[in-house]
Amino acid sequence: MLKNSEFVNKLRNSGLRPTKQRLKICEVLFNRDKTFHFTINDLAKNISENFNEKISLATIYNTVHAFKDKGYLKEITISSDKSYFDTNITKHHHFYDEDTNLLIDCNDNEIGKVNIKNNITGKKISSVEVLVRVASDTQNQN
Amino acid sequence: MLKNSEFVNKLRNSGLRPTKQRLKICEVLFNRDKTFHFTINDLAKNISENFNEKISLATIYNTVHAFKDKGYLKEITISSDKSYFDTNITKHHHFYDEDTNLLIDCNDNEIGKVNIKNNITGKKISSVEVLVRVASDTQNQN
DNA sequence: AATTTATATTATAATCGTTCTAAACTGTTG
DNA sequence: CAACAGTTTAGAACGATTATAATATAAATT
Ligand SMILES: [Mn+2]
Ligand SMILES: [Mn+2]
Ligand SMILES: [Zn+2]
Ligand SMILES: [Zn+2]
Protein backbone atom coordinates (compact mmCIF):
# COMPACT_ATOMS: atom_id res chain seq x y z
CA MET A 1 0.00 0.00 0.00
CA LEU A 2 2.69 2.47 -1.00
CA LYS A 3 1.91 5.56 -2.98
CA ASN A 4 3.46 6.94 -6.12
CA SER A 5 5.97 9.29 -4.45
CA GLU A 6 7.22 6.38 -2.35
CA PHE A 7 7.85 4.34 -5.48
CA VAL A 8 9.74 7.28 -6.97
CA ASN A 9 12.01 7.28 -3.92
CA LYS A 10 12.35 3.53 -3.88
CA LEU A 11 13.47 3.56 -7.51
CA ARG A 12 15.79 6.56 -7.10
CA ASN A 13 17.39 5.00 -4.04
CA SER A 14 18.11 1.88 -6.08
CA GLY A 15 19.71 3.84 -8.89
CA LEU A 16 16.76 3.20 -11.17
CA ARG A 17 15.14 6.11 -12.92
CA PRO A 18 11.48 6.44 -11.99
CA THR A 19 10.04 6.09 -15.46
CA LYS A 20 6.36 5.92 -16.26
CA GLN A 21 6.67 2.21 -17.05
CA ARG A 22 8.53 1.31 -13.87
CA LEU A 23 6.08 3.27 -11.73
CA LYS A 24 3.16 1.46 -13.34
CA ILE A 25 4.81 -1.88 -12.69
CA CYS A 26 5.50 -0.87 -9.09
CA GLU A 27 1.87 0.03 -8.69
CA VAL A 28 0.69 -3.28 -10.07
CA LEU A 29 3.17 -5.32 -8.02
CA PHE A 30 3.47 -3.48 -4.73
CA ASN A 31 0.36 -1.39 -4.24
CA ARG A 32 -1.51 -4.25 -2.58
CA ASP A 33 -2.30 -5.68 0.79
CA LYS A 34 -1.11 -9.20 0.09
CA THR A 35 1.97 -10.48 -1.68
CA PHE A 36 1.45 -12.71 -4.67
CA HIS A 37 3.08 -14.90 -7.30
CA PHE A 38 3.15 -14.11 -11.00
CA THR A 39 4.74 -14.97 -14.28
CA ILE A 40 5.99 -12.41 -16.77
CA ASN A 41 3.01 -13.25 -18.91
CA ASP A 42 0.56 -12.75 -16.04
CA LEU A 43 2.06 -9.35 -15.44
CA ALA A 44 2.01 -8.31 -19.08
CA LYS A 45 -1.60 -9.43 -19.43
CA ASN A 46 -2.59 -7.71 -16.19
CA ILE A 47 -1.13 -4.39 -17.36
CA SER A 48 -2.55 -4.52 -20.87
CA GLU A 49 -6.01 -5.61 -19.73
CA ASN A 50 -6.56 -3.55 -16.60
CA PHE A 51 -4.79 -0.35 -17.56
CA ASN A 52 -4.66 1.59 -20.77
CA GLU A 53 -0.87 1.70 -20.53
CA LYS A 54 0.97 -0.35 -23.10
CA ILE A 55 4.37 -1.52 -21.85
CA SER A 56 6.62 -3.40 -24.19
CA LEU A 57 7.35 -7.01 -23.22
CA ALA A 58 11.08 -6.26 -23.28
CA THR A 59 10.58 -3.54 -20.70
CA ILE A 60 8.57 -5.87 -18.50
CA TYR A 61 11.38 -8.42 -18.62
CA ASN A 62 14.00 -5.74 -17.95
CA THR A 63 12.07 -4.25 -15.07
CA VAL A 64 11.22 -7.53 -13.40
CA HIS A 65 14.86 -8.58 -13.58
CA ALA A 66 16.02 -5.20 -12.30
CA PHE A 67 13.59 -5.49 -9.37
CA LYS A 68 14.80 -9.01 -8.70
CA ASP A 69 18.43 -7.86 -8.74
CA LYS A 70 17.57 -5.07 -6.29
CA GLY A 71 15.88 -7.61 -4.04
CA TYR A 72 12.31 -6.39 -4.51
CA LEU A 73 11.24 -9.69 -6.06
CA LYS A 74 12.22 -13.30 -5.65
CA GLU A 75 12.28 -15.81 -8.47
CA ILE A 76 10.77 -19.22 -7.74
CA THR A 77 11.60 -22.14 -9.99
CA ILE A 78 8.97 -24.83 -10.15
CA SER A 79 9.25 -26.13 -13.65
CA SER A 80 11.67 -25.47 -16.41
CA ASP A 81 9.10 -24.08 -18.80
CA LYS A 82 8.08 -21.00 -16.86
CA SER A 83 9.52 -18.66 -14.27
CA TYR A 84 7.49 -17.51 -11.29
CA PHE A 85 8.16 -14.34 -9.36
CA ASP A 86 7.15 -13.60 -5.81
CA THR A 87 6.48 -10.22 -4.22
CA ASN A 88 6.99 -11.88 -0.83
CA ILE A 89 10.73 -11.47 -0.36
CA THR A 90 10.90 -12.92 3.13
CA LYS A 91 12.34 -16.42 3.60
CA HIS A 92 9.47 -18.83 3.15
CA HIS A 93 8.54 -22.10 1.54
CA HIS A 94 5.91 -23.14 -0.97
CA PHE A 95 3.20 -25.60 -1.74
CA TYR A 96 2.71 -26.15 -5.43
CA ASP A 97 -0.66 -27.48 -6.47
CA GLU A 98 -0.05 -29.70 -9.45
CA ASP A 99 -3.74 -29.74 -10.35
CA THR A 100 -4.20 -25.97 -10.56
CA ASN A 101 -0.55 -24.91 -11.10
CA LEU A 102 -0.95 -22.54 -8.18
CA LEU A 103 1.87 -21.63 -5.86
CA ILE A 104 0.93 -21.14 -2.21
CA ASP A 105 3.09 -19.64 0.52
CA CYS A 106 3.79 -21.78 3.55
CA ASN A 107 3.53 -20.12 6.91
CA ASP A 108 6.27 -20.87 9.39
CA ASN A 109 3.80 -22.93 11.37
CA GLU A 110 3.17 -25.19 8.39
CA ILE A 111 6.75 -26.30 7.77
CA GLY A 112 9.22 -26.64 10.60
CA LYS A 113 12.73 -25.27 10.40
CA VAL A 114 14.92 -27.20 8.00
CA ASN A 115 17.91 -28.49 9.89
CA ILE A 116 21.04 -28.53 7.75
CA LYS A 117 23.60 -30.55 9.62
CA ASN A 118 26.52 -30.53 7.21
CA ASN A 119 27.33 -28.02 4.58
CA ILE A 120 29.68 -28.09 1.62
CA THR A 121 33.13 -27.11 2.88
CA GLY A 122 34.10 -23.53 2.11
CA LYS A 123 30.66 -22.61 0.86
CA LYS A 124 28.05 -20.39 2.38
CA ILE A 125 24.35 -21.16 2.22
CA SER A 126 22.62 -18.55 0.10
CA SER A 127 19.11 -19.97 0.36
CA VAL A 128 17.14 -22.94 1.62
CA GLU A 129 13.91 -23.58 -0.17
CA VAL A 130 11.36 -26.29 0.35
CA LEU A 131 8.87 -27.09 -2.36
CA VAL A 132 5.98 -29.34 -1.40
CA ARG A 133 4.15 -30.58 -4.45
CA VAL A 134 0.55 -31.50 -3.76
CA ALA A 135 -2.16 -33.05 -5.89
CA SER A 136 -5.62 -34.45 -5.40
CA ASP A 137 -5.79 -37.95 -3.91
CA THR A 138 -6.77 -39.59 -7.16
CA GLN A 139 -3.58 -38.30 -8.81
CA ASN A 140 -0.55 -40.53 -9.35
CA GLN A 141 2.08 -40.30 -6.62
CA ASN A 142 5.63 -39.19 -7.51
CA MET B 1 26.22 -52.21 -12.76
CA LEU B 2 23.57 -54.02 -14.75
CA LYS B 3 24.32 -55.85 -17.95
CA ASN B 4 22.69 -55.64 -21.33
CA SER B 5 20.22 -58.52 -20.88
CA GLU B 6 19.00 -56.93 -17.68
CA PHE B 7 18.29 -53.69 -19.51
CA VAL B 8 16.39 -55.67 -22.14
CA ASN B 9 14.18 -57.09 -19.40
CA LYS B 10 13.82 -53.78 -17.65
CA LEU B 11 12.60 -52.17 -20.86
CA ARG B 12 10.32 -55.08 -21.82
CA ASN B 13 8.78 -55.11 -18.36
CA SER B 14 7.99 -51.41 -18.76
CA GLY B 15 6.33 -51.88 -22.13
CA LEU B 16 9.23 -50.22 -23.92
CA ARG B 17 10.84 -52.02 -26.84
CA PRO B 18 14.50 -52.64 -26.23
CA THR B 19 15.86 -50.74 -29.19
CA LYS B 20 19.53 -50.16 -29.89
CA GLN B 21 19.18 -46.50 -28.89
CA ARG B 22 17.38 -47.18 -25.63
CA LEU B 23 19.89 -49.84 -24.64
CA LYS B 24 22.78 -47.48 -25.30
CA ILE B 25 21.10 -44.81 -23.17
CA CYS B 26 20.50 -47.38 -20.41
CA GLU B 27 24.15 -48.30 -20.53
CA VAL B 28 25.28 -44.70 -20.27
CA LEU B 29 22.83 -43.86 -17.48
CA PHE B 30 22.60 -47.00 -15.39
CA ASN B 31 25.75 -49.06 -15.93
CA ARG B 32 27.62 -47.25 -13.18
CA ASP B 33 28.45 -47.51 -9.53
CA LYS B 34 27.21 -44.09 -8.53
CA THR B 35 24.10 -42.18 -9.49
CA PHE B 36 24.55 -38.80 -11.15
CA HIS B 37 22.85 -35.70 -12.47
CA PHE B 38 22.73 -34.71 -16.10
CA THR B 39 21.06 -32.45 -18.62
CA ILE B 40 19.78 -33.62 -21.99
CA ASN B 41 22.72 -31.85 -23.54
CA ASP B 42 25.22 -33.57 -21.28
CA LEU B 43 23.76 -36.90 -22.27
CA ALA B 44 23.73 -36.15 -25.99
CA LYS B 45 27.32 -34.96 -25.85
CA ASN B 46 28.40 -37.96 -23.78
CA ILE B 47 26.92 -40.39 -26.30
CA SER B 48 28.24 -38.65 -29.38
CA GLU B 49 31.73 -38.16 -27.95
CA ASN B 50 32.37 -41.42 -26.10
CA PHE B 51 30.59 -43.86 -28.39
CA ASN B 52 30.37 -44.09 -32.12
CA GLU B 53 26.60 -44.34 -31.91
CA LYS B 54 24.69 -41.37 -33.23
CA ILE B 55 21.33 -40.94 -31.52
CA SER B 56 19.00 -38.22 -32.68
CA LEU B 57 18.28 -35.49 -30.17
CA ALA B 58 14.55 -36.18 -30.50
CA THR B 59 15.14 -39.78 -29.45
CA ILE B 60 17.20 -38.68 -26.47
CA TYR B 61 14.37 -36.40 -25.37
CA ASN B 62 11.80 -39.13 -25.97
CA THR B 63 13.79 -41.74 -24.09
CA VAL B 64 14.65 -39.57 -21.12
CA HIS B 65 11.02 -38.61 -20.74
CA ALA B 66 9.90 -42.21 -21.14
CA PHE B 67 12.37 -43.25 -18.44
CA LYS B 68 11.17 -40.44 -16.23
CA ASP B 69 7.54 -41.51 -16.73
CA LYS B 70 8.46 -45.08 -15.84
CA GLY B 71 10.19 -43.82 -12.69
CA TYR B 72 13.76 -44.64 -13.72
CA LEU B 73 14.78 -41.00 -13.61
CA LYS B 74 13.76 -37.98 -11.59
CA GLU B 75 13.64 -34.46 -12.95
CA ILE B 76 15.14 -31.74 -10.76
CA THR B 77 14.24 -28.13 -11.40
CA ILE B 78 16.89 -25.64 -10.41
CA SER B 79 16.57 -22.91 -12.94
CA SER B 80 14.08 -22.26 -15.65
CA ASP B 81 16.62 -22.37 -18.44
CA LYS B 82 17.65 -26.00 -18.18
CA SER B 83 16.28 -29.28 -16.89
CA TYR B 84 18.38 -31.61 -14.77
CA PHE B 85 17.75 -35.30 -14.46
CA ASP B 86 18.84 -37.58 -11.67
CA THR B 87 19.54 -41.30 -11.80
CA ASN B 88 19.08 -41.37 -8.04
CA ILE B 89 15.36 -42.01 -7.75
CA THR B 90 15.22 -42.29 -3.97
CA LYS B 91 13.77 -39.40 -1.98
CA HIS B 92 16.61 -37.02 -1.29
CA HIS B 93 17.52 -33.37 -1.27
CA HIS B 94 20.12 -31.27 -3.05
CA PHE B 95 22.82 -28.73 -2.64
CA TYR B 96 23.25 -26.54 -5.68
CA ASP B 97 26.61 -24.88 -6.05
CA GLU B 98 25.95 -21.55 -7.70
CA ASP B 99 29.62 -21.08 -8.54
CA THR B 100 30.06 -24.33 -10.44
CA ASN B 101 26.40 -25.06 -11.35
CA LEU B 102 26.87 -28.48 -9.83
CA LEU B 103 24.09 -30.37 -8.14
CA ILE B 104 25.09 -32.46 -5.13
CA ASP B 105 22.96 -35.05 -3.35
CA CYS B 106 22.29 -34.55 0.32
CA ASN B 107 22.60 -37.56 2.54
CA ASP B 108 19.90 -38.06 5.15
CA ASN B 109 22.42 -37.13 7.82
CA GLU B 110 22.99 -33.73 6.19
CA ILE B 111 19.40 -32.49 6.18
CA GLY B 112 16.98 -33.49 8.89
CA LYS B 113 13.47 -34.64 8.11
CA VAL B 114 11.25 -31.82 6.92
CA ASN B 115 8.29 -31.53 9.22
CA ILE B 116 5.13 -30.54 7.40
CA LYS B 117 2.58 -29.60 10.00
CA ASN B 118 -0.36 -28.49 7.91
CA ASN B 119 -1.22 -29.53 4.44
CA ILE B 120 -3.61 -28.13 1.88
CA THR B 121 -7.04 -29.59 2.59
CA GLY B 122 -8.04 -32.43 0.30
CA LYS B 123 -4.63 -32.65 -1.30
CA LYS B 124 -2.00 -35.32 -1.00
CA ILE B 125 1.71 -34.56 -0.84
CA SER B 126 3.39 -35.91 -3.95
CA SER B 127 6.92 -34.77 -3.12
CA VAL B 128 8.91 -32.69 -0.68
CA GLU B 129 12.12 -31.28 -2.03
CA VAL B 130 14.69 -29.09 -0.35
CA LEU B 131 17.15 -27.15 -2.44
CA VAL B 132 20.04 -25.56 -0.60
CA ARG B 133 21.84 -23.07 -2.78
CA VAL B 134 25.45 -22.53 -1.79
CA ALA B 135 28.12 -20.17 -3.03
CA SER B 136 31.60 -19.14 -1.99
CA ASP B 137 31.78 -16.71 0.93
CA THR B 138 32.72 -13.76 -1.26
CA GLN B 139 29.53 -14.18 -3.26
CA ASN B 140 26.51 -11.95 -2.71
CA GLN B 141 23.92 -13.39 -0.37
CA ASN B 142 20.39 -14.05 -1.63
C1' DA C 1 15.90 26.93 -20.66
C1' DA C 2 18.70 24.80 -23.82
C1' DT C 3 22.18 21.43 -24.46
C1' DT C 4 24.48 17.36 -23.50
C1' DT C 5 24.89 12.85 -21.61
C1' DA C 6 23.42 8.69 -19.69
C1' DT C 7 19.78 5.66 -19.27
C1' DA C 8 15.41 3.48 -20.69
C1' DT C 9 11.91 1.98 -23.98
C1' DT C 10 10.48 -0.15 -28.03
C1' DA C 11 9.62 -3.15 -32.05
C1' DT C 12 11.60 -6.60 -33.88
C1' DA C 13 15.06 -10.14 -34.73
C1' DA C 14 17.69 -13.71 -32.79
C1' DT C 15 18.51 -17.46 -29.66
C1' DC C 16 17.93 -21.74 -27.64
C1' DG C 17 15.86 -25.52 -25.28
C1' DT C 18 12.21 -28.33 -26.29
C1' DT C 19 8.34 -30.42 -28.89
C1' DC C 20 6.07 -31.61 -33.18
C1' DT C 21 5.73 -33.76 -37.74
C1' DA C 22 5.57 -37.13 -40.91
C1' DA C 23 8.34 -40.27 -43.40
C1' DA C 24 11.47 -44.20 -42.92
C1' DC C 25 12.75 -47.98 -39.99
C1' DT C 26 12.60 -51.86 -36.60
C1' DG C 27 10.83 -55.09 -33.12
C1' DT C 28 7.16 -58.20 -32.28
C1' DT C 29 3.59 -61.32 -33.20
C1' DG C 30 1.16 -64.70 -35.77
C1' DC D 1 7.51 -64.02 -44.08
C1' DA D 2 3.76 -60.55 -43.58
C1' DA D 3 1.46 -57.21 -40.98
C1' DC D 4 1.33 -53.97 -37.48
C1' DA D 5 2.42 -51.12 -33.81
C1' DG D 6 5.98 -48.73 -31.91
C1' DT D 7 10.35 -46.14 -32.69
C1' DT D 8 13.74 -43.23 -34.81
C1' DT D 9 14.98 -39.41 -37.46
C1' DA D 10 15.90 -34.79 -39.66
C1' DG D 11 14.16 -30.90 -39.76
C1' DA D 12 10.42 -27.56 -38.87
C1' DA D 13 7.92 -25.27 -35.41
C1' DC D 14 7.26 -23.37 -30.97
C1' DG D 15 7.62 -20.34 -27.05
C1' DA D 16 10.01 -18.17 -23.48
C1' DT D 17 13.67 -15.22 -23.08
C1' DT D 18 17.43 -12.16 -24.64
C1' DA D 19 19.82 -9.15 -27.92
C1' DT D 20 19.79 -5.26 -31.13
C1' DA D 21 19.81 -0.76 -32.42
C1' DA D 22 16.96 3.12 -33.25
C1' DT D 23 14.14 6.37 -30.68
C1' DA D 24 12.69 8.58 -26.49
C1' DT D 25 13.17 10.25 -21.89
C1' DA D 26 15.43 11.62 -17.45
C1' DA D 27 19.10 13.82 -15.32
C1' DA D 28 23.07 16.61 -15.29
C1' DT D 29 25.47 20.52 -17.15
C1' DT D 30 25.86 24.77 -19.27
MN1 LIG E 1 15.05 -14.81 -15.56
MN1 LIG F 1 10.69 -32.10 -19.67
ZN1 LIG G 1 5.79 -17.00 -1.95
ZN1 LIG H 1 20.23 -36.28 -6.71
What does the domain layout of chain B look like in residue ranges? 4-82, 90-142
Count of beta carbons in the 10 Å neighbourhood of residue A49: 8
- φ, ψ for residue B123 (rounded to 5)? -120, 150
| Percentage of chain B exceeding pLDDT 90 | 68
**Burial of residue B124 (number of CB atoms within 10 Å: 0-12, 13-18, 19+):** middle
Q: Could you tell me the distance in Å between the CA of residue B130 and the C1' of nucleotide D11?
A: 39
Chain A residues whose C-beta is within 8 A of a chain B C-beta are: 77-83, 95, 97-99, 104, 107, 109-112, 114-120, 122-137, 139, 141-142
Task: Indicate the DSSP class of residue A141.
Answer: P
Find and list the nucleotides of strand C having atoms within 7 Å of a protein beta carbon.
Answer: 7-12, 17-21, 26-28
**Burial of residue B111 (number of CB atoms within 10 Å: 0-12, 13-18, 19+):** buried
A11-29 confidence digits (pLDDT tens): 999 999 999 999 999 999 9
CB pairs under 8 A between A and B: 137
pLDDT top residue among B132 and A109:
B132
* A3 has a pLDDT exceeding 80: no
Residue in B115, B116, B120, B77 with CA at minimum distance from that of residue A134: B120
Q: What would the CATH number be for the domain defined by A4-82?
A: 1.10.10.10
- The Cα angle at residue A35 between residues A67 and A30, in degrees rounded to 5: 50
**CB proximity B59–strand D (7 Å threshold):** yes
Nearest residue by alpha-carbon distance to C1' of C28: B17
Q: Which pLDDT belongs to residue B139?
A: 43
d(CA B45, CA B135): 27
**CB proximity B23–strand C (7 Å threshold):** no
Q: Which ligand has the nearest atom to the CA of B107? A: 4
Residues of A in contact with B100 (CB under 8 A): none
* A81 has a pLDDT exceeding 60: yes
